[in-house]
Structure 1
Amino acid sequence: MAKTLIGPQLRALRTAKNHTQAEMARNLGVSPAYVNLLENNQRSVSVKVLMSLSEAYGVDARQLVQDGAAANLAELRAAVRDPIFSEAPPDLMELRAALDHAPKLVRFFLQLHENHHGLLETMRKFNAGDGATELHAVRPETAIHNYFREHLNHFPTLETAAEAARAAIGGDNDDLYANLKRHLRHAYGLRVEVAGTDAMQGTLRDFDEAAGVVLLCETLDHINRNFQLAHVLALVSCTHLLDELVAASGIATEPGRARCRVELANYVAAAILMPYDAVRARAEETRYDIDRIATRFAVSYEQVAQRLTTLQRAGAKGVPFFFLRIDTAGNVTKRFNATPFTLAEQGGSCTVWNIHRAFASPGEIIPQFVEMPDAGQFFTFSRTTTRPVVSRHEPARRLVVTLGCERDHAHRIGYATPFDPDAAQMVAKIGINCHICPRRDCDQRAHEPLHVSLPIDANRRGSTRYQS
């Protein structure tokens, strides 16, 4: 007993009672310096002090001296020999010191190591099946998203090209459709025609460059006709610039490069319809009221939302936003990001996030403050949007568009005005999706996480079957 060390147990007991070392020393009849030595395992505990602890704090002395160190030492010794650590493992003296002085840190380390091996096992099982190729491949959409994010979703050369194109088009926003058709005809020899739904066979726009014809489906409204013509103008006026940017993306597959060209041309089209300085000024003036911005530039809600993510010019930045669009099944159909927020790639985003509830309130702005598992907080607002339907046999294509920014920028956005910025309870704790969310106390959990082992107690039932 004379050699028994109880530093971590003693410190935990004192902390639980909210006592200082001086207060504990008075209760035990010893000096504060002696309590400090005991807590740091620089003195072994005596029988007299153990008896004093039992009398002063009502604890069983046997619980204080119960030693699971041997088992913990063996587990820790095995963990540090894992091949993932490239250096020589700590010796026994260092391991014992860790157990004596930082037992909670050791527990965290061992739990992290266990979770790491659980994730490796899941990946091995996946890799052994039909999903091996998918596991190692980077999807084109992911590569494009990463490429845009590396540039903070802002391309200065495309902005300059768009400004030149808009100046060449001339005229007011009210006459933009006619002016776009005129400019395409005079500058590039392209004829614009509107064709019937049957003739277009489900296509909204068909650009035949060899024939010099741009066909637009009659189902497109005025706003979307403008965007499609601006997209064609981007393709023919920025050919070499688009080639350079696609090459710089490093995307290996031809379909991926073609998809990247489409997204870059969409960027130019939005910049033509909403010139940088003008749209940024309108955004700041209206506190990012998307409907008022859309009205000024004769564009759609979704077009404005996506354009706002690109306002990252050095010295003239707007609010850094992320953009997410989902369908009724929860699939992510488009995403752009100029923030630290981690966006879901393949749907299944968190049900605690009210992005899904927007479908129940078409046309209404649904705002929310959210917190990610890493404690990063964001302000988000969501609203439905619709896509053109080319056949009466197709269901209505209603989607939800969400914009979000870091909480520090929320005061610049009018949609955040009704919230109390100091109310902690207004922040919803969300994750990317259940498969990779580490939250242990979420009553909306639908799947056990791949990388965390959730403790299960057969005698208790939490709010979900994954929670004890």
Structure 2
Amino acid sequence: MAHAKLFIGRRVREQREASKATQAAFAERLGISTSYLNQIENNQRPVSAAVLLALAEKFQVDIASIGGSDGDRLLSALREALADPVSGGSSPSLQELKLVAQNAPSFAHALIACHQAYRRNSEQLASFDDQLIRTNALSEPTPYEEVRDFFHFVDNYIDELDRAAEHLAQALGLTDRDVGTALVDHLEQHHHVRIARAGTGEGVIRRFDASARVLYLNAYSPASTRSFQMAFQIGALEQRAEIDAIIERARFRTAEAAEICRIGLQNYFAGALMLPYRSFLVAAKELRHDLHLLAVRFGASLEQVAHRLSTLQRSGLKGVPVFFARIDRAGNITKRHSASKLQFARYGAACPLWNAHQAFEAPGRMICQLAETPDGVRYLSIATEVAKGEGGFASPHRRYAIALGCEISYAGDFVYADRLDFSNSSSFEPIGVSCRICERIDCIQRAVPPLKSKIAVDHNRRGKLPYTIC
């Protein structure tokens, strides 16, 4: 099978500019002509294997990080934005979109932001009957959306916090000790913070009294949750300066977005502390990504483990590129990230044929699915239901499904693939991203027609759908 050509002009140009070299000098160090370098930088020619090796040898460029999922995420968001009828019916080719994503990522992000503003305006205006109230808030992203996109486009990996957490985990010997005990000792000895039970009627998971130096935890939360909340508090106490710097660089529009991001970054540190990068990466490979065994080994929950697997994106030491999502019973995706080619829709519900929805029907089971998206890429998808509650029988419990998966070429790294038949094409279920951008014309679960397709209605014939997609 032929390998896809690699166009990385922007990356090469950025490397040359960072080296403060002219095209002639940079080309000489790479052992190529200046005209060839100029064509590479303008994406007129792909890079050869020899050029890639020269980049790695001469400029310490991480080859594994080139052409990865950054462009896939941006390309997916751009395709979805331009699939909207507001684009005026234009249909840029995939190659044209790739050129924009690769050569002008800032322009692509600006276009996506414009589409987001349009969507919010449309949804807001549709909710009014007679009165229209126009404010800037209608066209600006919500703080939550800003933070979601921040993590999305940094590949859900924060190097500074990840390395700091790993260093602290090594210092505390977390992989050889009970995590909860080690974190209690660290808070008491290094921060003079005492751990106490939260009041039964407080209804909190965590509450920190800064003046009294007491961290109150819900005694009925699982041990993994209590450990995570202690790790969160350590991040808040020890990583404030680093988190401030990350938020400053992100340049959020509002203070609310900055504070939401602060919570997200402290959560990130907590996960990285409980599941330190190198130890977790080695264990994931050794245990073939068995979520239950990883959870037991690290004293974590299934969701914490699955989420952490999606953050293993350290340059030069990456894990298997996976997608991860958390879905509620209404189909809302409340957490999402993908280091694979599968990118989740930014608007609308997820495909109903995806096995994540089946998890609610079989609590406690791992639902495995072989799936194929309209672009012909095949995946292994694993889903299970998780319930969260901090009380007894009468207390409400939140129920979610978590889904984790990878492209089929990596399926052998997962224990869940052992009993599946990869040789039979019929084993792969056709799924999409969302109905509004899915091109399948014969799907029995289709909710709405694709945005860029015309439909025909035959009043004398009814098939799976009341219309035909042209």
TM-score, length-scaled by structure 1 = 0.68
Partner of 1:431: 432
Q: Residue 161 in 1 paired to residue 168 in 2?
A: no
Partner of 1:245: 246
Q: Residue 265 in 1 paired to residue 243 in 2?
A: no
- In the alignment, is the contact (CA less than 8 A) between 1:283 and 1:289 conserved in 2? yes
Q: Cα–Cα, structure 1 residues 383 and 346, in superposed 2: closer, same or farther, change >3 Å?
A: farther
Give unmatched runs, 5+ long, in structure 1. 1-81, 86-120
Return the alpha-carbon distance in structure 1 between the equivalents of residues 139 and 427 of structure 2.
40
Q: Cα–Cα, structure 1 residues 122 and 149, in superposed 2: closer, same or farther, change >3 Å?
A: closer
Return the alpha-carbon distance in structure 1 between the equivalents of residues 232 and 123 of structure 2.
41
Partner of 1:102: none
Q: Tell me, what secondary structure is at the counterpart of 2:272?
A: helix
Q: How does 1:245-324 map to 2 (within 5 A)?
A: 245-324=246-325
Return the alpha-carbon distance in structure 1 between the equivalents of residues 138 and 372 of structure 2.
29
1:278-335 CA distance string (max 9 Å, x none): 1111111111111111111111111110111111222221111111001122222211
Return the alpha-carbon distance in structure 2 between the equivalents of residues 318 and 83 of structure 1.
40
Q: Residue 341 in 1 paired to residue 342 in 2?
A: yes
Q: How does 1:106-255 map to 2 (within 5 A)?
A: 129-130=126-127, 136-170=139-173, 174-198=177-201, 200=202, 202-255=203-256
Q: Cα–Cα, structure 1 residues 421 and 461, in superposed 2: closer, same or farther, change >3 Å?
A: same
TM-fit CA distance, 1:189:
2.3
TM-fit CA distance, 1:389:
3.5
- In the alignment, is the contact (CA less than 8 A) between 1:441 and 1:467 conserved in 2? no
Return the alpha-carbon distance in structure 2 between the equivalents of residues 320 and 372 of structure 1.
17
- In the alignment, is the contact (CA less than 8 A) between 2:370 and 2:380 conserved in 1? yes
Q: Cα–Cα, structure 1 residues 137 and 158, in superposed 2: closer, same or farther, change >3 Å?
A: same
- In the alignment, is the contact (CA less than 8 A) between 2:322 and 2:340 conserved in 1? yes
Q: Tell me, what secondary structure is at the counterpart of 1:362?
A: coil
Partner of 2:465: 464
Partner of 2:39: none
TM-fit CA distance, 1:83:
11
Q: Cα–Cα, structure 1 residues 424 and 446, in superposed 2: closer, same or farther, change >3 Å?
A: same
- In the alignment, is the contact (CA less than 8 A) between 2:121 and 2:138 conserved in 1? no
Larger Cα Rg: Structure 1 or Structure 2? 1
Return the alpha-carbon distance in structure 2 between the equivalents of residues 397 and 122 of structure 1.
29
TM-fit CA distance, 1:464:
2.4
- In the alignment, is the contact (CA less than 8 A) between 1:174 and 1:298 conserved in 2? no
TM-fit CA distance, 1:267:
1.4
Partner of 1:396: 397
Return the alpha-carbon distance in structure 2 between the equivalents of residues 466 and 384 of structure 1.
35
- In the alignment, is the contact (CA less than 8 A) between 1:282 and 1:293 conserved in 2? yes
Partner of 1:385: 386
TM-fit CA distance, 1:393:
4.7
The amino acid across from 1:324 in the alignment is A
Q: Cα–Cα, structure 1 residues 128 and 231, in superposed 2: closer, same or farther, change >3 Å?
A: closer
TM-fit CA distance, 1:84:
7.2
TM-fit CA distance, 1:420:
2.5
Q: Cα–Cα, structure 1 residues 427 and 208, in superposed 2: closer, same or farther, change >3 Å?
A: same
Partner of 1:412: 413
Return the alpha-carbon distance in structure 2 between the equivalents of residues 122 and 284 of structure 1.
42
Return the alpha-carbon distance in structure 2 between the equivalents of residues 263 and 125 of structure 1.
29
Return the alpha-carbon distance in structure 1 between the equivalents of residues 342 and 146 of structure 2.
17
TM-fit CA distance, 1:246:
1.7
Return the alpha-carbon distance in structure 2 between the equivalents of residues 147 and 230 of structure 1.
22
TM-score, length-scaled by structure 2 = 0.68
- In the alignment, is the contact (CA less than 8 A) between 1:330 and 1:347 conserved in 2? no
TM-fit CA distance, 1:358:
0.9
Q: Which segment drifts farther, 131-140 or 308-317? A: 131-140
Q: Tell me, what secondary structure is at the counterpart of 2:383?
A: strand
Q: Cα–Cα, structure 1 residues 347 and 305, in superposed 2: closer, same or farther, change >3 Å?
A: farther
1:41-61 CA distance string (max 9 Å, x none): xxxxxxxxxxxxxxxxxxxxx
Partner of 2:363: 362
- In the alignment, is the contact (CA less than 8 A) between 2:379 and 2:407 conserved in 1? yes
Q: Tell me, what secondary structure is at the counterpart of 1:312?
A: coil
Return the alpha-carbon distance in structure 2 between the equivalents of residues 188 and 320 of structure 1.
37
- In the alignment, is the contact (CA less than 8 A) between 1:461 and 1:467 conserved in 2? no
TM-fit CA distance, 1:465:
2.4
The amino acid across from 1:310 in the alignment is T
- In the alignment, is the contact (CA less than 8 A) between 2:198 and 2:206 conserved in 1? no
1:189-233 CA distance string (max 9 Å, x none): 2221112321x2x21111233432211112212121111100110
Return the alpha-carbon distance in structure 2 between the equivalents of residues 278 and 442 of structure 1.
43
Q: Tell me, what secondary structure is at the counterpart of 1:403?
A: strand
Q: Tell me, what secondary structure is at the counterpart of 2:436?
A: helix
Name the % identity. Answer: 34
TM-fit CA distance, 1:128:
5.1
TM-fit CA distance, 1:339:
2.2
